[in-house]
């Protein structure tokens, strides 16, 4: 885990490693081995320069013999070693692909699987963009870390260690020079990183501001046009845009310096080693003090090889220091992934399950095997509820819907109508009181069974990419085409569906973009109809259907509600007029209840609401 100051929290890193290790133990072992082999092969090729010069070329020059066969043999041996290195390199590259992609696939699966278990409050309390970005941005940074950064880091470490050992073998003091240069490089990078951190933070802030501005303006684009505000908003945008440019420039400017600075520190080291090395090789100092671990003095070939080794040594050091930033970023991404995975899932402690018998009747089945027919009696007693602690939404709700009854809720925005329905299907959990369903406390009923028994049509229609059939069938996955058409006919959706380019097979794109709101509502009613649930909840289900069409589908709606306990939220009188009970809600309380004519006779709030609309008559 990383906090804002960019510090790593070990627990997240550990979990990340555990996740990768989980199913890939052997693959990872092979990868590590292969990286080791291929790095050593590269090292062998570097060291060969020394062997070539010191053991073959120089003696040949001295002796004047022209026998190249020992060189050929040495080169052949080198070739074999390098060949093994190439195979190792391909193996670990390929394996890494499988490990990283496999891990990502598993991660996406468990993210989604867990997300599906989260309570509604999770989705209601954050923007969908934020949730989406876990799947896109955050998982993507992980891909880089798993697929690239980690293998590269390991490779760098192997290179650094093995090169350093070779350097020590050749010359201890020169190795010291190399190490000092590497340390300077590391701290320079750190320093530059710190310098840029401030700018990066500013950059992120500006990005947020500009994103927000664009989003707000683009979504209000029509209003901008109507008010001829184009020039004004362009001016405002220009100012923000320029600020963003400046902050990105400041951040990138420093980021871009890292590479040349490190490269040239490497060059400086090169000069230093060349000079010192030459001085040592030429002077008589080459005694004990300047020798390597092999005990021999610094030879010409050794110096040449050492210069290459120095380059190989410093490159990964600058690479590691460079990648610290990307690791911090990735861990921050992993953090958000784990934040989602650590969210507490919905409670589902109930054991009473719902079964549809062969004759189409629904039965409850308790843990001890008792079978009770579903009747559809829903009762709330003394229910209090608040979404956020301290802001109570519902007070002391008491009501009973007997099987087959139609209960209507009316009242203004925020009166708590929708909240009640959210409690019945346990989208949210009540704090006080009791809700029972056929006598069972709804907490005793297994959640999926509870929800399957309640059909919901919401004001906000949500359709899915797929054909019209697919969308209606969402209500009951095993519904036949005939079932779907029957449901569509029931709610008078059939005629407009037939007018679509491919009828029932027309693909509906992103949330029904090509349908009108009213048509979408008809489809979602058809979806509920095909599910044929014992209890119905209609939350402003016909609000976008014009009054004439609504009148036409009235009979369909009536037959849908026939014999089913129904909760209706509506602002249109026609929808609630024939309800068995009308609950008038105000500020979280039921203030009046009764049938239409009873409520009118009361001359209370309902009367006020009702007659307030009757300006004409």
Distances (CA, A) of 550 to 409, 458, 547, 565, 571: 19, 16, 5, 21, 13
Which listed residue (90, 294, 345, 558) binds other proteins by CB under 8 A? 90
Each residue 513-532 as x (binds other proteins by CB under 8 A) or -, in order, gives ---xxx-----x--x---x-
Site for other proteins in 276-315 (CB under 8 A): 277-279, 281-282, 300-301, 303-304, 307-308
Cβ-based neighbour number of residue 92 at 10 Å: 25
1 vs 87, which CB is nearer to other proteins? 87
DSSP SS3 for 5: coil
Pick the stretch among 84-92, 373-381, 431-439, 555-563 that binds other proteins (CB under 8 A). 84-92
Cβ distance to other proteins smaller for residue 432 or 483: 483
CA distances to 316, 522, 529, 541 from 492, rounded to whole Å, are 70, 8, 12, 14
SS3 assignment, position 125: coil
Candidate residues 7, 205, 264, 562; the one interacting with other proteins per rule CB under 8 A = 264
* Cβ-Cβ contacts under 8 Å for 287 (sequence gap 6 or more): 297
User: Per DSSP, what are the bridge partners of residue 388?
Assistant: 391
Q: How many CA atoms lie within 13 A of 406 on its CB side?
A: 19
Q: What are phi and psi of 203, to 5 degrees?
A: -65, -45
CA distance 73 to 59: 16
Binding mask 428-457 for other proteins (x = CB under 8 A): --------------------x--xx-xxx-
Please, what is the minimum distance in Å from the beta carbon of residue 120 to other proteins? 7
Q: Give the binding range for other proteins (CB under 8 A) out of 190-198, 327-335, 434-442, 569-577.
A: 569-577
Which positions from 134 through 163 interact with other proteins, judged by CB under 8 A? 135-136, 147
When the beta carbons of 382 and 460 are compared against other proteins, the nearer one is 460
Q: Determine if 344 is a binding residue for other proteins (CB under 8 A).
A: no
Q: How far is CA 505 from CA 343, 490, 571, in A?
A: 39, 19, 34
In this structure, are residues 443 and 349 in contact, taking their beta carbons and an 8 Å threshold?
Answer: yes
Q: How far is the CB of 10 from other proteins (least distance, A)?
A: 29
Nearer to other proteins, 1 or 261 (CB): 261
* Least spacing, CB of residue 161 vs other proteins, in Å: 20
Q: Which of 29, 132, 176, 180 binds other proteins (CB under 8 A)?
A: 132
8 A C-beta contact, residue 409 and residue 397:
no
Of 49-68, binders to other proteins (CB under 8 A) are 49, 52-53, 56-57, 60-61, 66, 68
Q: How far apart are the first and last CA of the chain?
A: 67
Span 167-186, contacts to other proteins by CB under 8 A:
none
Q: Pattern 107-126, binding to other proteins, x per CB under 8 A? A: -xx--xx-xxx--x--x---
The reply on whether position 275 binds other proteins by CB under 8 A is yes
Distance CA 562, CA 576 (A): 14
Please report whether residue 38 would count as binding other proteins according to CB under 8 A. Answer: yes
Task: Please check whether residue 479 is in contact with residue 533, taking contact to mean a CB–CB distance below 8 angstroms.
Answer: no
Which of 21, 73, 94, 180 contacts other proteins by CB under 8 A?
94
Distance from the Cα of residue 567 to its chain's centroid: 35
**Looking only at residues 199 through 238 of this chain, which bind other proteins when binding is defined by CB under 8 A?**
207, 210-212, 214-234, 237-238
Q: Which own/partner pairs from 386-392 qualify as long-range (CB within 8 Å, at least 24 positions apart)?
A: 386/431, 387/121, 387/124, 387/419, 387/428, 392/588
């Amino acid at each position: 885990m990383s906090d804002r100051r960019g510090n790593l929290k070990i627990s997240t890193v550990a979990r990340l490693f555990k996740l990768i290790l989980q199913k890939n133990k052997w693959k990872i072992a092979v990868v590590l081995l292969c990286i080791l082999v291929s790095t050593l092969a590269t090292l062998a090729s570097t060291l060969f320069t020394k062997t070539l010069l010191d053991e073959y070329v120089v003696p040949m020059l001295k002796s004047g013999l022209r026998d190249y066969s020992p060189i050929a043999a040495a080169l052949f041996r080198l070739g074999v070693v390098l060949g093994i290195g190439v195979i190792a390199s391909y193996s670990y590259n390929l394996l890494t692909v499988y490990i990283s992609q496999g891990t990502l696939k598993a991660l996406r699966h468990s993210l989604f699987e867990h997300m599906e278990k989260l309570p509604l409050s999770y989705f209601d309390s954050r923007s969908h963009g934020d949730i989406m970005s876990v799947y896109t941005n955050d998982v993507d940074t992980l891909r880089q870390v798993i697929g690239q950064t980690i293998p590269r880091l390991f490779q760098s470490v192997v290179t650094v260690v093995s090169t350093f050992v070779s350097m020590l073998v050749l010359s201890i003091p020169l190795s010291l020079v190399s190490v000092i240069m590497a340390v300077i490089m590391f701290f320079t990078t750190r320093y530059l990183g710190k310098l840029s951190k401030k700018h990066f933070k500013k950059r992120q802030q500006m990005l947020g501001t500009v994103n927000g501005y664009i989003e707000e303006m683009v979504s209000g684009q029509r209003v901008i046009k109507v008010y001829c505000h184009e020039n004004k908003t362009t001016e405002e945008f220009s100012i923000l845009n320029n600020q963003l440019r400046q902050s990105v420039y400041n951040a990138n400017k420093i980021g871009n310096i890292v590479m040349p600075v490190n490269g040239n520190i490497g060059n400086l080291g090169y000069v230093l080693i060349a000079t010192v090395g030459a001085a040592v090789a030429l002077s008589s100092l080459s005694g004990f003090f300047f020798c390597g671990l092999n005990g021999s003095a610094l030879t010409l070939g050794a110096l040449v090889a050492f210069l290459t080794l120095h380059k190989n040594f410093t490159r990964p050091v600058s690479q590691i220091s460079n990648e610290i930033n990307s690791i911090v970023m990735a861990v921050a991404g992993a953090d958000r992934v784990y934040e989602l995975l650590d969210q507490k899932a919905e409670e589902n402690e109930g054991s009473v399950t719902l079964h549809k018998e062969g004759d189409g009747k629904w039965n409850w089945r308790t843990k001890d095997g008792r079978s009770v027919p579903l009747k559809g009696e829903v009762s709330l007693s003394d229910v209090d509820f608040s979404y956020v602690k301290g802001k109570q939404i519902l007070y002391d709700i008491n009501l009973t819907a007997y099987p087959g009854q139609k209960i209507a809720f009316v009242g203004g925005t925020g009166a708590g109508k929708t909240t009640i329905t959210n409690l019945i299907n346990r989208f949210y959990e009540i704090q006080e009181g009791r809700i029972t369903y056929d006598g069972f406390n709804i907490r005793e009923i297994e959640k999926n069974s509870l929800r399957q028994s309640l059909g919901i049509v919401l004001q906000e229609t949500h359709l899915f990419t797929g054909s019209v059939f697919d969308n209606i069938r969402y209500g009951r996955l095993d519904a036949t085409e005939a079932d779907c058409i029957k449901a569509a006919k029931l709610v008078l959706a059939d005629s407009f569906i037939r007018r679509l380019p491919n009828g029932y097979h027309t693909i509906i794109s992103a949330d029904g973009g090509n349908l009108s709101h009213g048509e979408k509502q008809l489809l979602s009613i058809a979806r509920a109809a095909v599910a044929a649930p014992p209890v119905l909840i209609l939350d402003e289900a016909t609000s976008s259907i014009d009054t004439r069409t609504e009148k036409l589908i009235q009979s369909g709606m009536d037959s849908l509600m026939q014999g089913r306990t129904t909760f209706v939220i509506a602002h249109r009188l026609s929808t609630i007029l024939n309800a068995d009970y009308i609950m008038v809600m105000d500020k979280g309380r039921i203030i009046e209840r009764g049938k239409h004519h009873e409520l009118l006779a009361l001359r209370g709030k309902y009367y006020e609401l009702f007659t307030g609309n009757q300006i004409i008559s």
